[in-house]
Amino acid sequence: MLPRIKDLAATLSPRLIEIHRHLHSHPELSGQEHQTSAYVAGVLSSSGLHIRETVGKTGVVGEITAQGPDPRLLAIRADMDALPIQEATGLEYASRRPGIMHACGHDVHTTVGLGTAMILSHLRDSLPGNIRFLFQPAEETAQGARWMIQDGVMENVSAILSLHVFPSVPAGSVAVRYGALTAAADNLEITIIGESGHGARPHEAIDAIWIASQVITSLQQAISRTQNPLRPVVLTIGQIKGGRAPNVIADQVRLRGTVRSLHPETSAALPQWVEEIVASICRPYGARYDINYERGVPTVQNSHQLSQLIEVAAQEAWGYEGVQVLPEPSLGSEDFSLYLEHAPGAMFRLGVGRKDKPNYPLHHPQFAVDESAIVTGVVTMAYAAYRYWHQCS
């Protein structure tokens, strides 16, 4: 089956490049993927898939009904949203929309999802079981997977696969990861409430700015002395707001940040840990505080069996040199983790690194991919999917 999948992908390649360039030049922000999802729905239905539109607000679901007897339903997920970034790649197919750019490769994810759907739809008579393609909106805002799941896309799903582009792996290769792939990411907002006063008479006021600075310093110091160094925690305060004038003591400061962790026990304990530190600093100075610790997405914990499915499929397709096993997880986050609360799954990294050209990180205004990676992604995904019913018991 692999040679057949490779042939089909090679034949489809010009069409896939065309799809990718269309998507790249027409990016849409999270939750506003109306044209993208209409375009995706068009390609899916012309490839013979049964589609459902406006699933998860602006998402699309396509399903291949196979002839085979295996009741296990495989899902394949692709995200479709772009970022509020002004593109500076100079590519001929650069974004036509000022201030919006596919800088995280979700245009590649959508293209690979469509290519995989076209090939597997063509091979439906040889598929042992059914496949459901989830084209989700709003991954960047960590909302889309939740919306899709609320609309029932995980009903009857036995396993789910996905991929994310990776500029530090060369195009033509893929990377798999056993265990944790990405971190749990939570949002933190701390308001320190003091009392205003004259800048010359600090003893008559409660200085919220100074207390906030102690809170930031203590949180960073406490991580190094209270958290197990083998279970990483990263806490970044990315925004501070407070104060009215240089000679007026601020009565209120708002700190906003992100908290990343990999270990479920660590994640569970973090809200209370933050509160204890903030409380211990505010108390002696008579300041009050308000903490809003909002759970974001959990860790993407890849299923061993499904990572192996991808690794073996990729090795057969690209040889041992075309597959890396990632030794470390990332502290980035992915709302793919929410699907994993409903079925086992695995996400792999698709190398998109360009040869002889600079490679910029994800979310960079000059981020660009080697488009040959699209065929690599399609073949790997289609072949892994095909093997799912044979390899996984």
Angle, nearest 10°, between helix axes 2-25 and 304-318? Answer: 100
328 known member of a binding site? no
Q: Least CB distance from residue 145 to Ni ion, whole Å? A: 12
Inter-axis angle of helices 106-122 and 34-46, to 10 degrees? 20
- Of the pair 115, 167, the CB lying nearest Ni ion is at 167
Judge whether 282 is annotated as a binding position: no
The vertex-101 CA angle with 100 and 107, nearest 5°, equals 130
In the numeric block, the tokens 């065929």 are attached to: 375
Q: Which is nearer to Ni ion, 104 or 163 (CB)?
A: 104
Of 104 and 259, nearer to Ni ion (C-beta) is 104
Helix (H, G, I), strand (E, B) or coil at 345: strand
Query: Nearer Cβ to Ni ion, position 20 or 194?
Result: 20
Rounded CA-CA distance 196/252 in Å is 8
| Residue 64 vs 350, nearer CB to Ni ion | 350
Which tokens sit at 310? 């991808």
How far CA 286 is from CA of 18, 279, 289, 294, in Å, comes to: 63, 10, 10, 26
Residue 165 CB, shortest distance to Ni ion, in Å, is 8
Distant-in-sequence, close-in-space partners of 5: CB < 8 Å, separation ≥ 6: 119, 123, 379, 382, 383, 386
In the structure encoding, which two tokens stand for residue 179, read together? 């265990």
Residue nearest to Ni ion (CB): 104
Please tell me the distance from the alpha carbon of residue 248 to that of residue 205, in angstroms, as a whole number. Answer: 10
The answer to whether the beta carbons of residues 343 and 161 sit under 8 Å apart is: no
24 is in an annotated binding site: no
Binding residue per annotation — 34? no
CA distance linking residue 300 with residue 323, whole number of Å = 20
Tell me the CB-side half-sphere exposure of residue 228, using CA atoms within 13 A.
Answer: 11
For residue 206, give both structure tokens. 């409660």
Nearer to Ni ion, 81 or 311 (CB): 81
Question: Is 26 annotated in some ligand binding site?
Answer: no
Interface residues with Ni ion (CB under 5 A) are 104
The SS3 of residue 189 is strand
Separation in Å, CA 94 to CA 10, 80, 103: 24, 16, 11
Between strands 73-79 and 50-55, the pairing is: unpaired
Task: Report in angstroms how near the CB of residue 349 gets to Ni ion at its nearest.
Answer: 11
Minimum CB separation of residue 271 from Ni ion in Å reads 26
In whole angstroms, give the CA distance from residue 212 to residue 307: 44
Q: How far is the CB of 253 from Ni ion (least distance, A)?
A: 32
| Cβ closest to Ni ion, residue 30 vs residue 47 | 30
Q: How far is the CB of 139 from Ni ion (least distance, A)?
A: 6
Q: How far is the CB of 236 from Ni ion (least distance, A)?
A: 19
Give Cβ neighbours of residue 357 (< 8 Å, ≥ 6 apart).
368
Choose between 108 and 249: whose C-beta lies nearer to Ni ion: 108
Closest to Ni ion by CB, 129 vs 144, is 144
- Whether the CB-CB separation of 49 and 133 falls below 8 Å is answered with yes
Torsional sign, CA 302, 308, 313, 319: positive
List the binding residues for Mn(2+): 104, 106, 140, 164, 363
List the binding residues: 104, 106, 140, 164, 363
